[in-house]
Chain A
């Protein structure tokens, strides 16, 4: 009797662990399928002329250079706007804030901002920046709208990075007579820098792939933007329009692969920085 129970217990354990293994395998397989599919179908498209020339004709033959330019432009600009604000906000939350109503309001707002659907953020950008402030469809309007999307992401990763800095390092600094700001700027932030950088890079990857926000704030005009007030079409928007209209599927595959490669590159860079840092510290 008892041995049968033990057998049951063992069998259940084996079955359950197999199911857990299968869940993990399915997750990895999902990623693998997507990557392999996009890679196999897109790799033939990626040539220098695809990357560096302009599209032409009704079917958008040729390259996608202006969309790459627009993507990099809007991502860079939004990171420039967001990063300083987000890092300083995280410094406040991690180093200065006293638990209370104000801080809990700030946290609730940051959480809400993080969960706003990107399509809502797009319409917000349209109403606030494009029309409300008269920026028209422009890189600047898109960068501002994206900033609200990125802000909570960078705040969270930076706050975690700052909190991970050991306390005794701060005590050492205070012990030498340093002020709060001196401690934060010279001791805490430099120690937290690799992890902050990781978070910022991941956020940039997120900004790059964002479609719903930029389509309402930058428009869909193929145009290599130069001034921040120029409109433009980013790679994700280009991919969506080509796929939906079905006009140039090879171009769509190529754009998808390039987009995935960019995001992958950002992720791997972030991981590399994180890992190098871990090795240096221990």
Chain B
């Protein structure tokens, strides 16, 4: 961050300037010194406010801890009871008969995510390239709000749209009821477009113009510049965007539950109904009790850990990218 901070102390420079002499050979941060020279009351007020803000910032940390604590406390007994391997590796999810294996659900969630990414990823990256490199300002004024509105549409409306419009079309064209992976892919693909497109556009925009100009000066066409120069230069940002999109696809619930058909098997075709990690919670929660309920909280733990892993992956990749450059 290049702002008004002294690299040694991290304190804003203007305050240090207020009292440069005491700043030089004092172990105290110069800002504090400067404030002390104003008045003790002001100093305490400033310090108190700073700490208040810090507490507010720490609410986020507390939130993550609380989620872990409460969901973990509710869900942990199922891991203890059936064992981590049986829970994560079991193929059968028949909670009423004491079968608590969620591997089928994990596989189905992955299938839904991969298909959505295969359709939505290119769509989103294409849209982002359009916005940052191809579009005239006027076209940008149309496409960018559209992307933002796509992000704003509630997931239940996506699901409703999928149920009443997309599903009959899929059923008509491909046979069957129209519930299944294919319909879910289409809906999720549209839902992850804004996530990926916005961040990819940011990444492309942060590539300096000089690099574009150099490429054009070498006689490269627009497409050669995009494909050989800009996309590689923005690679890290685009990977981050795609991982975030994957997280969105895995965690999506309400849109999926309405078009997935919700059969408790690994589907043997892309037009067959199936059940995922998120939709099983919606479907079973209303009547679940005892171990069944605990198992659903166990599923929530798994979902939470998957989403944390995605965030961690983004951080690792970004750090790696910084070291490379």
Contact = CB atoms under 8 A, between A and B. Distances in A.
Interface in B33-51: 35, 38, 42, 45-46, 49-50
Contacts of A24: 126-127, 130-131, 134-135, 139, 143
A117 B126 contact: no
Contacts of B250: 117
A91 B53 contact: yes
Main secondary structure of the interface of A (DSSP, over half): helix
Contacts of B57: 88-89, 92-93, 97, 106, 155
B150 interface: yes
A182 to B, nearest CB: 9
A175 B34 CA distance: 13
B70 A263 contact: no
Given A16-B227, A170-B4, A106 B258 contact: no
A239 B152 contact: no
Contacts of B54: 92, 96
Contacts of A193: none
Q: Which 10 A-B pairs have the closest CB atoms?
A: A209-B154, A23-B126, A117-B251, A174-B14, A98-B10, A92-B53, A13-B221, A24-B130, A16-B223, A88-B56
Contacts of A155: 57, 60
B140 to A, nearest CB: 10
Interface string B123-139: 11111011100110001
Interface in B291-325: 296-297, 300, 303-304, 307-308, 310-312, 314-315
Interface of A: 9-10, 12-13, 16-17, 19-24, 26-28, 30-35, 37-38, 41, 84-86, 88-89, 91-93, 96-99, 105-106, 108-113, 115-121, 123-124, 127-128, 132, 148, 151-152, 155, 163, 167, 170-171, 174-175, 179-181, 202, 205-206, 208-212, 215-216, 236, 239-240, 243-244, 249, 252-253, 256, 259-260, 263-264, 266-267, 271
A93 to B, nearest CB: 6
Contact of A85 (B59, B159, B312): B59
Interface of B: 1, 3-5, 9-12, 14-15, 17-18, 31, 35, 38, 42, 45-46, 49-50, 52-54, 56-61, 63-64, 66-67, 70-71, 73-74, 122-127, 129-131, 134-135, 139, 142-143, 145-150, 152-161, 163-165, 190, 193, 197, 221-224, 226-227, 244, 247-248, 250-254, 258, 278, 281-282, 285, 296-297, 300, 303-304, 307-308, 310-312, 314-315
A41 to B, nearest CB: 8
B165 A260 contact: no
Contact of B60 (A120, A152, A209, A263): A152
Contacts of B45: 181
Contact of B253 (A38, A89, A119, A179): A119
Contact of A212 (B18, B134, B282, B296): B282
Contacts of B285: 123, 216
Nearest to B244: A115
A23 B223 contact: no
A86 B56 CA distance: 7
Contacts of B163: 243
A28 B143 contact: yes
A96 B49 CA distance: 10
6 contacts: A27-B146, A91-B53, A99-B10, A120-B71, A202-B152, A209-B152
Contacts of B46: 179-181
A37 B161 contact: yes
A120 B310 CA distance: 15
B221 A116 contact: no
Given A117-B250, A132-B70, A266-B152, A89 B60 contact: yes
Given A20-B134, A89-B60, A239-B160, A116 B304 contact: yes
